[in-house]
């Protein structure tokens, strides 16, 4: 997407709020939710993914990005010692989503195999209060005239307007909880820039929420009584983008009325640098191998997003 | 003199051990003449022995484990590539002879974790005890671990103190069924790629099942709470066993050790920072190793020359350097229907056993090498690991204890120790999945899997 998040906001009729919502921040700050030796374990996870995982000297991004994600999710899952309801979640890889909606007489749709999804039995409770939702009515979506909002979008002929959550009816884990996007291409041009990654996260979170809303409440556009919340995390192995999206309305044809809300926390570094081989200048080791600039807050936010909805 | 010429070659400060061969006269201390030893460069058997001795000393004296592994696999020569998942007939007997492994049918009794399944699982427990008893009978004559000798009644309160509330088999069953249904039935997926049905259904199901079970059981097993889960790791091991004469080439006629390399890619593995306890003492003898009189290339095995790798799944610096459990997925081209169509029903079990033996030998031996042991410095404590081999529906469980790494021609002469592998036949986890429900779910297989995951050292 050309304009990044601004364009995605217009397409999904969303208002942006910087930073994570207070409900998630309270989980971050609550010391009861910490793992023991949290920093140790996260450092081991990062070292394993970036330094130790391969027979070669240094693993490539295609290898270390998914491995880092798996290790962090493994650490989060170990929290189910304390919260047994965390076992009511499943991870789905390579699942297909499709959602269609109309936006001021332009038909848009989101489709595709897009990464990894955590489903849960119980939905996440709405994050924003009723007043905040009503406040969005006055907010005006920014347009970027003369650039059309649908620039850079692929125009295809669709013969079936599909709305599919990716799972059949009767699936017990029916509520999408968190989406994960791993930018693991080796070459930099093949990876999304952070801005575009955030836009992609927004579009897919919106698509998931919309498909779920249509399944629950039918195809008629209306304001939802129970807003649907879907979270999203995107990373390229070092930088993390966190996002919480709340779908308040499926009435997307007009540009006024209640809008959807999104909270974005962008460009959180988990560590500054991972040195695989010690740096040697003039026969003296200046920088031994290891992980530098580790920031535990990023993992705390990751864990908070994982725990959100069950604590 | 030839002796002084030989000594000059090794002038880079290596400590000198005089040879104790019959040709050498030990010089009295204070002698002005250097010790008389065989040449290091001559084309003679004594010179070859001296070069080998020098190489062994270099490896013994290596500064770090990485240096030791580098020296161990430095010389590249053509070697046989062993594939754990193979269609070769009777491959398990061949692999047993290559790795000096005794295969014992049935699993060793695990009374400590069996006691953790309390009154919440009475009916499956009654089914378990005859199976456990059948496993005990062949080993009843041998000395077993002191913990298994403790009376069963005393263990249950002890396990209750440690394990907390009893495990609910119903909940485990629902977790497993949910994972299975999600992969087979509920999720919309494309058609599987040709001959890749295991990536489509069985692989994701196994990953999902193991990760949810590990999360569920980590409260009971603190070892799992400190574990590291690898997806599609690489496990490699390189060793020498036996001797042969080089057939053709410029080295024709020379006597060479037979070199083997295993490059394994398990689907999933759990590595832990503490070692699993030994099952039987180090010097136990539970059976015989099959002797195969043919050359390894008759299996068929093929030779190639490439890097000699020893790897457990992560480098030496990783604190989780011991193995707990591996999960192997049988690929689609080795599925049961193919064997049945070719009238080779007995080879189905051979495939599972060969996979278990080869993969676990490679993994435990690589773990031992990471601790500094090798064929000249044999292990002082046994290394134990477990594996589950499955094709999505049928599960076979294996347990391996590595007692010796000394498999080369010189070291195997006076080595009475043998490696031991316990294994079961493959049993189905369920009958069929249709209309959103799993028919014929087999609790025993699930409980065996849970037992494997709950295995931990005695202190924890």
For A51, which residue in chain B has the nearest alpha carbon? B315
Radius of gyration of chain A (CA): 20
Average pLDDT over residues B311-330: 92
Q: How far is B193 from chain A (nearest CA, A)?
A: 14
- How many domains would you assign to chain A? 1
| Predicted confidence (pLDDT) at residue B393 exceeds the cutoff of 70 | yes
In B, which residues are within 8 Å of A92 by CB distance? 182, 187
Q: Which residue has the tokens 């999960």?
A: B327
Weakest mean pLDDT among A17-26, A168-177, B159-168, B207-216: B159-168
Query: How many CB atoms within 10 Å of residue B278?
Result: 16
Q: Which of A36, A70, A208 should be substituted to probe chain B, the one whose Cβ sees the most B Cβ atoms within 10 Å?
A: A70
**Is the residue at A48 inside a domain?**
no
| Predicted confidence (pLDDT) at residue B193 exceeds the cutoff of 50 | yes
The closest of B65, B131, B122 to B312, measured between CA atoms, is: B65
Query: How many CB atoms within 10 Å of residue B311?
Result: 23
Q: What does the pLDDT read at residue A85?
A: 76
Q: How far is B97 from chain A (nearest CA, A)?
A: 28
Of A66, A80, A166, the CB nearest to B215: A80
Instruction: Give the highest mean pLDDT range of A123-132, B1-10, B420-429, B451-460.
Output: B420-429
Using a 10 angstrom Cβ sphere, with 0-12 exposed, 13-18 middle and 19 or more buried, the burial of residue A221 is: middle
Q: What is the DSSP string of B191-221?
A: PPPTT-HIIIIIHHHHHHHHHHHHHHHTTT-
Weakest mean pLDDT among A122-136, B160-174, B319-333: B160-174
B34-48 CB burial, b ≥16 within 10 A, e <16 = eebbbbbeeeeebbe
Of A53, A74, A86, the CB nearest to B229: A74
Weakest mean pLDDT among A62-71, A189-198, B64-73, B396-405: A189-198
**Is the residue at A67 inside a domain?**
no
Of B188, B215, B320, the CB nearest to A167: B188
Using a 10 angstrom Cβ sphere, with 0-12 exposed, 13-18 middle and 19 or more buried, the burial of residue A207 is: buried
Chain centre to alpha carbon of residue B94: 16
In B, which residues are within 8 Å of A85 by CB distance? none
Q: What does the pLDDT read at residue A148?
A: 67
Question: Could A90 and B208 be called an inter-chain contact, meaning their C-beta atoms sit closer than 8 Å?
Answer: yes
Which secondary structure element, helix H or strand E, spans residue A305, and what is its range? helix A296-307
Tokens of B441: 């779910």
| Predicted confidence (pLDDT) at residue A102 exceeds the cutoff of 80 | no
Q: How far is A208 from chain B (nearest CA, A)?
A: 14
**Is the residue at A65 inside a domain?**
no
Question: Could A172 and B309 be called an inter-chain contact, meaning their C-beta atoms sit closer than 8 Å?
Answer: no
Terminal Cα distance for chain B, rounded: 63
Mean pLDDT of the residues in chain A: 80
Weakest mean pLDDT among A201-215, A249-263, B202-216, B307-321: A249-263
Q: How far apart are CA A100 and CA A111, in angstroms?
A: 9
Q: How far is B313 from chain A (nearest CA, A)?
A: 7
| Predicted confidence (pLDDT) at residue A204 exceeds the cutoff of 80 | yes
| Predicted confidence (pLDDT) at residue B333 exceeds the cutoff of 70 | yes
CB distance from A170 to chain B under 8 Å? Answer: yes
Q: How far is A145 from chain B (nearest CA, A)?
A: 40
Residue A280 binned pLDDT confidence (cut-offs 50, 70, 90): confident
CB distance from A210 to chain B under 8 Å? Answer: no
**Is the residue at A242 inside a domain?**
yes
In A, which residues are within 8 Å of B219 by CB distance? 80-81
Question: Could A92 and B187 be called an inter-chain contact, meaning their C-beta atoms sit closer than 8 Å?
Answer: yes
Strand partners for B389: B328, B396
Q: Name the residue with higher pLDDT: B111 or B242.
A: B242
In B, which residues are within 8 Å of A86 by CB distance? 215
Tens-digit pLDDT profile for residues B60-73: 999 999 999 999 99
| Predicted confidence (pLDDT) at residue A130 exceeds the cutoff of 60 | yes
Residue B6 binned pLDDT confidence (cut-offs 50, 70, 90): very low
Average pLDDT over residues A115-119: 75
Give the 3-state secondary structure of residue B283. Answer: coil
Give the 3-state secondary structure of residue A184. Answer: coil
Cα angle: A285, vertex A290, A295; to 5 degrees: 130
**Is the residue at A159 inside a domain?**
yes
Give the whole-number percent of chain B exceeding pLDDT 90: 48
Q: How far is A244 from chain B (nearest CA, A)?
A: 24
Task: Specify whether the backbone of B201 is left (phi greater than 0), alpha (psi in -120 to 50) or beta.
Answer: alpha
Q: How far is A14 from chain B (nearest CA, A)?
A: 29
Weakest mean pLDDT among A112-126, A163-177, B326-340: A112-126
Question: Could B187 and A74 be called an inter-chain contact, meaning their C-beta atoms sit closer than 8 Å?
Answer: no
Q: What does the pLDDT read at residue B437?
A: 82
Question: Could A91 and B189 be called an inter-chain contact, meaning their C-beta atoms sit closer than 8 Å?
Answer: no
In A, which residues are within 8 Å of B231 by CB distance? 66-67, 70
| Predicted confidence (pLDDT) at residue B152 exceeds the cutoff of 50 | no
Q: What is the DSSP string of B42-58?
A: SSSHHHHHHHHHHHHHH
Query: How many CB atoms within 10 Å of residue B411?
Result: 17
Residue B11 binned pLDDT confidence (cut-offs 50, 70, 90): very low
**Is the residue at A294 inside a domain?**
no
Q: What does the pLDDT read at residue B197?
A: 83
Question: Could A80 and B436 be called an inter-chain contact, meaning their C-beta atoms sit closer than 8 Å?
Answer: no
Q: What does the pLDDT read at residue B161?
A: 34
Of B208, B216, B320, the CB nearest to A80: B216
Average pLDDT over residues B165-171: 79
Give the whole-number percent of chain B exceeding pLDDT 70: 81
CB distance from A87 to chain B under 8 Å? Answer: yes
In B, which residues are within 8 Å of A87 by CB distance? 175, 212, 215-216
Average pLDDT over residues B425-445: 88
Tens-digit pLDDT profile for residues B345-376: 899 999 999 999 999 999 999 999 999 999 99
In B, which residues are within 8 Å of A99 by CB distance? none
Question: Could B317 and A53 be called an inter-chain contact, meaning their C-beta atoms sit closer than 8 Å?
Answer: no
Q: What does the pLDDT read at residue A27?
A: 80
CB distance from A172 to chain B under 8 Å? Answer: yes
Question: Could B186 and A168 be called an inter-chain contact, meaning their C-beta atoms sit closer than 8 Å?
Answer: yes
| Predicted confidence (pLDDT) at residue B116 exceeds the cutoff of 50 | no
The closest of A75, A280, A59 to B315, measured between CA atoms, is: A59
Mean pLDDT of the residues in chain B: 81
Of B215, B230, B319, the CB nearest to A87: B215
Q: Name the residue with higher pLDDT: A134 or B246.
A: B246
The closest of A172, A219, A180, A228 to A200, measured between CA atoms, is: A180
Using a 10 angstrom Cβ sphere, with 0-12 exposed, 13-18 middle and 19 or more buried, the burial of residue B162 is: middle
| In chain A, residues 250-289 whose CB comes closer than 8 Å to chain B | none
Tens-digit pLDDT profile for residues B98-109: 999 999 998 988
**Is the residue at A209 inside a domain?**
yes
Residue A296 binned pLDDT confidence (cut-offs 50, 70, 90): confident
Q: Name the residue with higher pLDDT: A164 or B383.
A: B383
| Predicted confidence (pLDDT) at residue A217 exceeds the cutoff of 70 | yes
Q: How far is A104 from chain B (nearest CA, A)?
A: 31
In B, which residues are within 8 Å of A274 by CB distance? none
Give the 3-state secondary structure of residue B421. Answer: strand
Give the domain extent around A210: 3-37+83-268+302-307
Helix axes B203-217, B169-181, angle to 10 degrees: 150
Q: Name the residue with higher pLDDT: B383 or A173.
A: B383
Give the 3-state secondary structure of residue B367. Answer: helix
Q: How far apart are CA B164 and CA B317, in angstroms?
A: 34
**Is the residue at A262 inside a domain?**
yes
pTM: 0.84
| In chain A, residues 22-51 whose CB comes closer than 8 Å to chain B | 44, 47-48, 51
Q: What does the pLDDT read at residue B154?
A: 33
Q: How far is A189 from chain B (nearest CA, A)?
A: 27
């Amino acid at each position: 997407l050309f304009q990044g998040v601004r364009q995605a906001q217009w397409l999904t009729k969303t208002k942006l709020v910087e930073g994570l919502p207070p409900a998630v921040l309270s989980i971050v700050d609550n010391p009861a939710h910490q793992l023991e030796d949290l920093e140790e374990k996260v450092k081991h996870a990062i070292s394993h993914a970036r330094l130790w995982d391969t027979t070669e000297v240094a693993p490539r991004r295609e290898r270390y990005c998914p491995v880092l994600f798996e290790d962090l999710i493994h650490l989060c899952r170990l929290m189910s010692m304390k919260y047994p309801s965390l076992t009511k979640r499943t991870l789905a890889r390579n699942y297909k989503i499709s959602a269609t909606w109309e936006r001021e007489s332009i038909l848009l749709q989101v489709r595709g195999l897009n990464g990894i999804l955590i489903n849960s039995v119980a939905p996440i409770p709405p994050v924003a209060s009723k007043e905040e939702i009503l406040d969005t009515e006055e907010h005006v979506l920014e347009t970027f005239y003369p650039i059309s909002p649908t620039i850079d979008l692929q125009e295809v002929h669709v013969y079936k307007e599909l709305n599919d959550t990716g799972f059949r009816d009767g699936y017990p884990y029916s509520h999408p909880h968190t989406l994960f996007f791993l930018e693991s291409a080796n070459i930099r041009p093949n990876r999304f820039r952070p801005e575009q990654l955030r836009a992609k996260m927004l579009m897919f979170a919106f698509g998931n929420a919309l498909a779920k809303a249509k399944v629950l409440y039918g195809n008629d556009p209306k304001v939802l009584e129970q807003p649907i919340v879907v979270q999203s995390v995107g990373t390229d192995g070092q930088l993390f983008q966190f996002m919480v999206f709340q779908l308040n309305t499926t009435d997307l044809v007009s540009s006024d009325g209640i809008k959807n809300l999104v909270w974005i926390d962008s460009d959180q570094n988990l560590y500054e640098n991972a040195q695989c081989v010690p740096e040697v200048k003039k026969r003296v080791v200046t920088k031994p191998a290891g992980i530098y600039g580790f920031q535990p807050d990023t993992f705390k936010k990751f864990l908070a997003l994982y725990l959100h909805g069950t604590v | 003199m030839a002796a002084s010429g030989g000594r000059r070659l090794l002038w880079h400060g290596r400590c000198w051990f005089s040879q104790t061969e019959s040709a050498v006269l030990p010089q009295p201390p204070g002698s002005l003449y250097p010790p008389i030893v065989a040449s290091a460069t001559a084309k003679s058997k004594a010179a070859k022995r001296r070069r080998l001795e020098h190489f062994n000393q270099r490896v013994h004296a290596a500064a770090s484990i990485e240096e030791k592994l580098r020296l161990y696999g430095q010389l590249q020569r053509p070697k046989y590539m062993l594939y754990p998942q193979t269609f070769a007939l009777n491959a398990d007997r061949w692999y047993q002879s290559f790795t000096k492994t005794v295969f014992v049918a049935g699993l060793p009794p695990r009374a400590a974790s069996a006691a953790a399944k309390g009154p919440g699982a009475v009916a499956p427990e009654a089914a378990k005890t005859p199976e456990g008893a059948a496993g005990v009978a062949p080993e009843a004559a041998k000395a077993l671990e002191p913990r298994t000798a403790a009376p069963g009644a005393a263990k249950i309160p002890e396990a209750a103190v440690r394990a907390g509330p009893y495990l609910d088999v119903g909940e485990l069953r629902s977790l497993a069924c949910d994972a299975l249904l999600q992969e087979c039935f509920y999720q919309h997926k494309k058609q599987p790629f040709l001959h890749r049905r295991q990536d489509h259904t069985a692989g994701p199901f196994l990953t999902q099942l193991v990760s949810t079970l590990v999360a569920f059981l980590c409260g009971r097993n603190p070892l799992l709470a400190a574990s590291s889960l690898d997806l599609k790791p690489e496990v490699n091991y390189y060793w020498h066993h036996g001797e042969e004469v080089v057939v053709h080439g410029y080295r024709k006629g020379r006597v060479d050790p037979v070199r083997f390399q295993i490059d394994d890619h398990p689907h999933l593995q759990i590595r832990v920072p503490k070692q699993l306890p030994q099952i039987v003492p180090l010097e136990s003898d539970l059976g015989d190793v099959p002797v195969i009189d043919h050359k390894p290339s008759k299996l068929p095995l093929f030779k190639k020359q490439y890097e000699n790798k020893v790897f457990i799944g992560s480098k030496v610096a990783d604190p989780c350097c011991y193995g707990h459990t591996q999960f192997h997925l049988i690929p689609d081209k080795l599925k049961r229907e193919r064997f049945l169509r070719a009238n080779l029903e007995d080879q189905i079990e051979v495939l599972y056993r060969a996979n278990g033996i080869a993969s676990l030998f490679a993994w435990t031996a690589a773990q031992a090498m990471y601790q500094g042991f090798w064929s000249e410095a044999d292990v002082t404590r046994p290394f134990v690991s477990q594996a589950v081999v499955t094709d999505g529906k049928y599960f076979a469980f294996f347990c391996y204890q590595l007692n010796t790494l000394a498999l080369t021609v010189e070291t195997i002469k006076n080595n009475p120790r043998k490696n031991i592998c316990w294994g079961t036949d493959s049993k189905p986890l369920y009958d069929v999945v249709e209309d959103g429900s799993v028919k014929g779910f087999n609790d025993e297989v699930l409980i065996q899997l849970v037992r494997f995951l709950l295995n931990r050292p005695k202190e924890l």
